Chain A
């Protein structure tokens, strides 16, 4: 039982900000910021998520254990994502991808590569 009761007006204000941010993210998607697209979209999403967590989920005024649990979970997911992406990038050719797909099945190399990781580009696939 938290001692602090958030005033109703605060909740309304937070909703207002959330809705505004939603409009902004949709508008921003209409422009092309290159590689910043992802950063902007996920950045805005994270701000929205933080508002929901801090105010609607009351993390701002609760005992810290809830926040600790939540952050730990998010961090664990972050570790999983980062290392999987790191590995995937490190074994994928970064050469410019051809506009047309070749239909050949990609060759899988087994075992650690002797030199640079020359892995198959796993992007060819067949239509059913």
Chain B
């Protein structure tokens, strides 16, 4: 956000008349962006749903290769990170500047743990030859066609992982500003909007987890 100083507030951009107008506009903008993410991932969900309905046995057989425990832990980690993120916003709104930093850091740590666990999962898959499309080389499948499931597994969790990385980057940016003391009850929009993005990343995983790991 702009740091141009104006007569009516340090962070008010010149084309807005009030801080509330600016904050409202930012929120509308972020919700619109989130909807584009919903539709982007949504395409993969649609593809998955249709391929799964056409190849039910193969998908069921394939999904047993996923580690439910790791998936469960990752879900817990991401839900917790949503909590720490919203607490960061809350802290900004209640003028507890140090806590903003702490909660943002905790969110980053959770994100890191999530990626770490995904790294473990991916390594296992590579090792077993459970790879997407033409690279699938797993031996001994009783039900053929399981490569298609892993095509989707890697595309969906991969795209999701990219968004986690992007989220970490923007959280780092907000963290820098929080350390600088930019945020208070009067101005917390960047934390708020980055938080919304982060919750969406969590939302996507809330659906990914049962779809990929649990459903028979």
Spell out A's residues near B (CB within 8 Å): 1, 5-6, 8, 11-12, 14-15, 18-19, 22, 25-26, 29, 32, 37-38, 41-42, 44-45, 48-49, 52-53, 55-57, 62-63, 65-66, 69-70, 72-74, 76-77, 80-81, 84-85, 88-89, 92, 97, 101, 122-123, 125, 127-128
Contacts and interface: CB of A to CB of B under 8 A. Distances in A.
B145 A44 contact: no
B54 A66 contact: no
Interface string B31-71: 11011101100110110011001110100000000001000
Contacts of A8: 87, 90
A92 B54 contact: yes
B199 A70 contact: no
Interface of B: 19-20, 23-24, 27-28, 31-32, 34-36, 38-39, 42-43, 45-46, 49-50, 53-55, 57, 68, 72, 75-76, 79-80, 82-83, 85-87, 90, 93-94, 134, 136, 144-145, 147-148, 195-196, 199, 202-203, 206-207, 209-211, 213-216
- Residue of A1, A6, A12 ringed by the most chain B CB atoms within 10 A: A1
A12 B216 CA distance: 32
Nearest to B145: A125
Given A32-B216, A85-B53, A128-B134, 5 more contacts: A6-B90, A41-B211, A56-B83, A127-B144, A128-B136
Contact of A26 (B19, B46, B72): B72
A25 to B, nearest CB: 6
B216 A45 contact: no
Contacts of B213: 29
A128 to B, nearest CB: 5
B50 A85 contact: yes
Contacts of A101: 144-145
A74 B195 CA distance: 20
Contacts of A69: 28, 31-32, 35
A15 B39 CA distance: 26
A84 B38 contact: no
Main secondary structure on chain A at its contact with chain B? helix
A86 B14 CA distance: 50
Nearest to B69: A26
Contacts of A32: 216
Contacts of B216: 29, 32, 37
Contacts of A57: 195-196, 199
Contact of B57 (A1, A88, A97): A97
A98 to B, nearest CB: 11
- Residue of A12, A52, A88 ringed by the most chain B CB atoms within 10 A: A52
A34 B16 CA distance: 56
B13 to A, nearest CB: 15
Contacts of A128: 134, 136, 147
